Amino acid sequence: MKRFLVVGTVGLFSFIIMSCQQNKSPEPCGPIPSENQMQWQEMEYYAFVHFSLNTYTDQSWGYGNEDVKLFNPEKADCRQWARICKEAGMKGIIITAKHHCGFCLWPSEYTAYSVKNAPWKDGNGDMVREMADACKEYGLKLGIYLSPWDRNHPDYGKPEYITYFRNQLTELLTNYGEIFEVWFDGANGGDGYYGGANETRKIDRTTYYDWKNTYTLIRKLQPNIVIWNDGGDRGDLRWVGTEEGFVGETNWSLLNDTGEVTWSMLHYGLETGNAWVPAEVNTSIRPEWFYHPVEDSKVKTVPQLMETYYNAIGRNGTLLLNFPIMPNGLIHPTDEKMALEFGKAVKESFAVNLVEKARAEASHVRGNDKRFGATKAIDGNKDTYWATDDSITKASLTIDLGKPTLFNRFLVQEYIPLGQRVKAFTFEALVDGNWKEVAKATTIGYKRLLRFPSVKATKVRFTITDSKGCPVISNIGVYNAPVFLNTPSIARNQAGEVSLTTNDIGPVFYYTTDGSEPTTASNLYHYPFIADGKVEIKAIAFDPASGKSSPVGTEKLDISRKDWRIIGIDDESASKILDGNTATVWHKRGEKILPFGLVVDLGNNFMVGGFKYLPDQNKWSSGIITNYRFYVSSDNKSWKLVSEGEFSNIKNNPVWQIRTFAPVNARYIKLKALKNTQGDDVAGFAEIDLVTK
């Protein structure tokens, strides 16, 4: 009997201890964010602005030999930049204080290659100062981009350059107030001017900058800063492996603090990582980062920007959206229009949370304590949360909407000060008395947004099916967001047939071929149509049921390629280069095949004023050309070199590369591939096209 009483007492005592433990807040699960990282994460959405000497030379990257006198933005207005960003819903701006060319937007005392020797404001200007003042006026945070690579400085690649680099860092982090983020690009070393040397310099990006001591300097000067670095050392934030505007559907805010980082780790994070390194999604509102007039018709539309929003912020990342500044020093009106409409669309999409006044109950509540009850997930307070006992890693929360309610979006957030836990979950709706799964996903983190076709239901159920620890859910939202039609894609094949497509289901298309704005009174698209020669096609998608139209799609097509043929290649599949399908590609492979020249017979003579090259759109391609020469000929015997150089940043941003030159009469063209991104013997071509006069 005594033995029975002892065992019973011990069991009761253990139960009481366990109950007390469950009434306490959960312990952190794995790595957790620092206070600086938490403040950064809650910003969610902020801007890049790219502006430098190569803005005036129509280049992606400057070589470092551009004339400082080119920089004279007669209408430069950082207040315009800040106003647009504020009205678009952004929380900060990161300015490219120095890009790879080495030109400084502030009057650095350590180089002559800066605004102090430019005609802008007679050498008395300071673009970083004006940006700092504008951010302060509009209540925005200021960030600094400083390229570690400097194609102008004579000491780059030598130990002396690190002192120069840190001196400039000190100027930027000392003289302009509080800086929320410092941004170090991963492009390091290559050909450049280097004070007149005009040579290629290589560095070991993992050791050259002595990041450990550089970071110590940064944190001493700016204690509240976060560091973004793709240059060989772990910072506070990570790149996502692409500049296209999305992170992986599974996205852990974790990496290991040392060791190799693969593309997969950048894109998806690492579930078992021992350091908190969340994802920042960086992309531009145009195809490239710096301003190019040819991209004025290629500004991302609201549906495209909303897609980016869901694939960045909606996947546990932040969104860093770039504005290329025009040579006059302003953001282009089209960029402004799209950014403001995008901000309005986001606001409208999440204006009404349909669960704010609903009733909620959970399958498990931590210690049966109201402090961790289901209602804490829908109370609108980011510092409260629903949690379960430590032993419970699978649980559900049901919300009664009170009446049949229409919705198409689901939002869920974890309380990440205690770590990231959820590995998988489902979202169901009670439709006509039956539970129907409408969405499912893997990780949550700071914020997860799911989209699905509209559903009308009386109840919804959020179920965690797998978790690293007891779930800690701080916020749930259900919304009925406006639906946007995507801009039609316009493509012409080699036969001259133009097709219109979109990812949407059900819309019809209307188009024009004279550059005028399409309406529902324009040509109705039934099937591909012939459009030979130079033509500007504009098109809209239209939904007859709702009466809504998409943004206008525009494509300026040059001469038709129906008479073109590739010569000197005994491979029929090479015709993919001219088929108008950006998804097809042809590769030339073989030992020591580079340099390789692709020759095309145009069929007739034309005044050729430029060319276009589209690389393989497959991220794993090894044939993406980085350095080229372009020739023209009238007889396929005597060739004239009309353009040579590099396709800057093409690996991370594999968009159409457009190069122009003084028009010359030609029937034959040759694009010679000199190098590729992988340094192997492959030349890849998705499409080749021309700019004619």
Q: Which helix (H) or strand (E) holds 81?
A: helix 78-87
Q: How far apart are CA 11 and CA 7, in angstroms?
A: 6
- CATH code for the domain of 496: 2.60.40
Check whether residue 540 and residue 612 sit in a common domain: no
Report, as an integer, the average pLDDT of 595-601. Answer: 97
Q: Which residues contact 97 (CB under 8 A, 6 or more apart)?
A: 104, 105, 106, 127, 128, 144, 145, 146, 172
Check whether residue 104 and residue 222 sit in a common domain: yes
The total domain count for the chain is 4
Check whether residue 523 and residue 577 sit in a common domain: no
Q: What is the pLDDT of residues 139-165, one digit of tens each?
A: 999 999 999 999 999 999 999 999 999
Report, as an integer, the average pLDDT of 263-283. Answer: 97
**pLDDT score of 341 more than 70:** yes
Check whether residue 297 and residue 368 sit in a common domain: no
Phi/psi of residue 5, nearest 5 degrees: -65, -40
Report, as an integer, the average pLDDT of 272-288. Answer: 97
Helix pair angle (159-174, 211-221), 10° resolution: 20
Which of 300, 316, 349 is the endpoint of a domain? 349
Check residue 205 and give its pLDDT.
87
Only one residue has tokens 């559900």, namely 396
Confidence tier at 2 by pLDDT (50, 70, 90):
very low
- CATH code for the domain of 193: 3.20.20.80
Helix pair angle (78-87, 333-349), 10° resolution: 20
Confidence tier at 15 by pLDDT (50, 70, 90):
very low
Q: What is the pLDDT of residues 659-671, one digit of tens each?
A: 999 999 999 999 9
Q: How far apart are CA 652 and CA 658, in angstroms?
A: 16
Q: What is the pLDDT of residues 366-425, one digit of tens each?
A: 999 999 999 999 999 999 999 999 999 999 999 999 999 999 999 999 999 999 999 999
Does residue 38 lie within any of the structural domains?
no
Confidence tier at 254 by pLDDT (50, 70, 90):
very high
- In the chain, DSSP finds a helix count (H) and a strand count (E) of 10, 34
Rounded to two decimals, the pTM is: 0.91
What share of the chain has pLDDT > 90, as a percent?
90
Asked if 419 contacts 450 with a C-beta cutoff of 8 angstroms, the reply is no
Confidence tier at 230 by pLDDT (50, 70, 90):
confident
Confidence tier at 11 by pLDDT (50, 70, 90):
low
Q: Which 8-state DSSP code applies to residue 315? A: B
Question: What does the block give as tokens for 18?
Answer: 């366990």
CA pseudo-torsion sign 403, 409, 410, 415: negative
Vertex 269, ends 265 and 275: CA angle to 5°?
105
Is 574 in a helix, a strand, or coil?
A: helix
Phi/psi of residue 473, nearest 5 degrees: -110, 120
Check residue 6 and give its pLDDT.
39
- CATH code for the domain of 595: 2.60.120.260
Does residue 26 lie within any of the structural domains?
no
Q: How far apart are CA 404 and CA 427, in angstroms?
A: 17
Report, as an integer, the average pLDDT of 92-102. Answer: 98
Which of 452, 479, 506 is the endpoint of a domain? 479
Check residue 590 and give its pLDDT.
86
Does residue 531 lie within any of the structural domains?
yes
What is the domain extent for residue 251? 43-349
Is 238 in a helix, a strand, or coil?
A: strand
By C-alpha distance, which of 549, 577, 578, 548 is closest to 563?
578
Check whether residue 331 and residue 273 sit in a common domain: yes
Check residue 591 and give its pLDDT.
85
Check residue 14 and give its pLDDT.
46
Check whether residue 79 and residue 104 sit in a common domain: yes
Which of 557, 577, 604 is the endpoint of a domain? 557
Report, as an integer, the average pLDDT of 33-59. Answer: 97
Report, as an integer, the average pLDDT of 511-520. Answer: 96
Asked if 268 contacts 337 with a C-beta cutoff of 8 angstroms, the reply is no
Burial class (CB within 10 angstroms; exposed 0-12, middle 13-18, buried 19+) of 417 = middle
Does residue 426 lie within any of the structural domains?
yes
Rg, the chain, Cα only: 28
Check whether residue 425 and residue 312 sit in a common domain: no
Does residue 14 lie within any of the structural domains?
no
Is 172 in a helix, a strand, or coil?
A: helix
Q: Which 8-state DSSP code applies to residue 620? A: T
Does residue 9 lie within any of the structural domains?
no
What share of the chain has pLDDT > 70, as a percent?
96
Does residue 499 lie within any of the structural domains?
yes
Check whether residue 79 and residue 218 sit in a common domain: yes
**pLDDT score of 562 more than 50:** yes
Length of the chain: 693
Check whether residue 304 and residue 229 sit in a common domain: yes
Check whether residue 519 and residue 572 sit in a common domain: no
Report, as an integer, the average pLDDT of 326-336. Answer: 98
Confidence tier at 621 by pLDDT (50, 70, 90):
confident
Q: Which 8-state DSSP code applies to residue 139? A: T
Q: How far apart are CA 332 and CA 323, in angstroms?
A: 9
Q: How far apart are CA 225 and CA 43, in angstroms?
A: 13
Only one residue has tokens 């692409």, namely 242
Check whether residue 573 and residue 524 sit in a common domain: no
Q: Which 8-state DSSP code applies to residue 26? A: P
Check residue 164 and give its pLDDT.
98
Does residue 617 lie within any of the structural domains?
yes
Q: How far apart are CA 301 and CA 317, in angstroms?
A: 21
Check whether residue 189 and residue 63 sit in a common domain: yes
CA pseudo-torsion sign 90, 85, 344, 250: negative
By C-alpha distance, which of 40, 43, 41, 66 is closest to 55?
66
pLDDT mean across residues, the chain = 94
